[in-house]
Chain A
Amino acid sequence: DGGITQSPKYLFRKEGQNVTLSCEQNLNHDAMYWYRQDPGQGLRLIYYSQIVNDFQKGDIAEGYSVSREKKESFPLTVTSAQKNPTAFYLCASSEPGTQYFGPGTRLTVL
């Protein structure tokens, strides 16, 4: 069954902690993306990767980091430098022309 998986579905973080959100895809897509969604707002691009071992900053990369060591995986780390990390995080991958999304991870800072 092909698709994009994100884990965990819910994540709680204490202030000052780094946390890593997982994104895996078995669609054989080259490109992957991370978006942040805040209540009542659209999607904002955090990082994207067009190919393994390469990634670029999006519009709101400060306080986040990524890696792309495997084609299937694009984990996102939310660092303690991110001042307001509570949000819904969406991962996507794309075939030429179209992006497809995972189910999302809701991160809450306690």
Chain B
Amino acid sequence: AQSVTQLDSQVPVFEEAPVELRCNYSSSVSVYLFWYVQYPNQGLQLLLKYLSGSTLVKGINGFEAEFNKSQTSFHLRKPSVHISDTAEYFCAVRENNAGNMLTFGGGTRLMVKP
């Protein structure tokens, strides 16, 4: 069975600094990978996804993520964060034999400080 681990529950960072949110997964089959963002009291918004092709994926709001199959990771990065990036970020995995079913990580709270 697959599982998703987000290693950091909270990441504090100063405005304009770079940030990396870590995501590791375990699966015995090939996977598709997603990052979602959740602002307070709102639903989840898709940031980016890896389905196939280039392992470096660019998403909205200046975020990008790199799929590393050998390390079973899909870390999210942004070179310079803004106060408005303060939110909860969720990594999710879909196995290629699981239809559209997702397994979510526990989430990482990004706190951007002025």
Contact = CB atoms under 8 A, between A and B. Distances in A.
Contact of B106 (A31, A42, A48, A104): A42
A106 B41 contact: yes
B91 to A, nearest CB: 9
Interface in B54-94: 90, 94
Q: B interface, by DSSP: helix, strand, loop or mixed?
A: loop
Interface string A22-49: 0000000001000000001111010010
Sort chain A's interface into a size bin. Answer: 20 to 34
A99 B100 contact: yes
Given A90-B44, A97-B32, A98-B46, A50 B99 contact: yes
A6 B46 CA distance: 18
Scoring A42, A88, A106 by chain B CB atoms within 10 A of each residue's CB, the highest score goes to A42
Given A42-B104, A50-B99, A99-B100, A104 B41 contact: yes
25 contacts: A4-B43, A6-B43, A31-B99, A31-B100, A40-B9, A41-B106, A42-B105, A42-B106, A43-B44, A43-B90, A43-B104, A45-B101, A90-B43, A94-B100, A97-B49, A97-B51, A97-B94, A97-B100, A98-B100, A101-B36, A101-B43, A101-B44, A103-B43, A104-B41, A104-B42
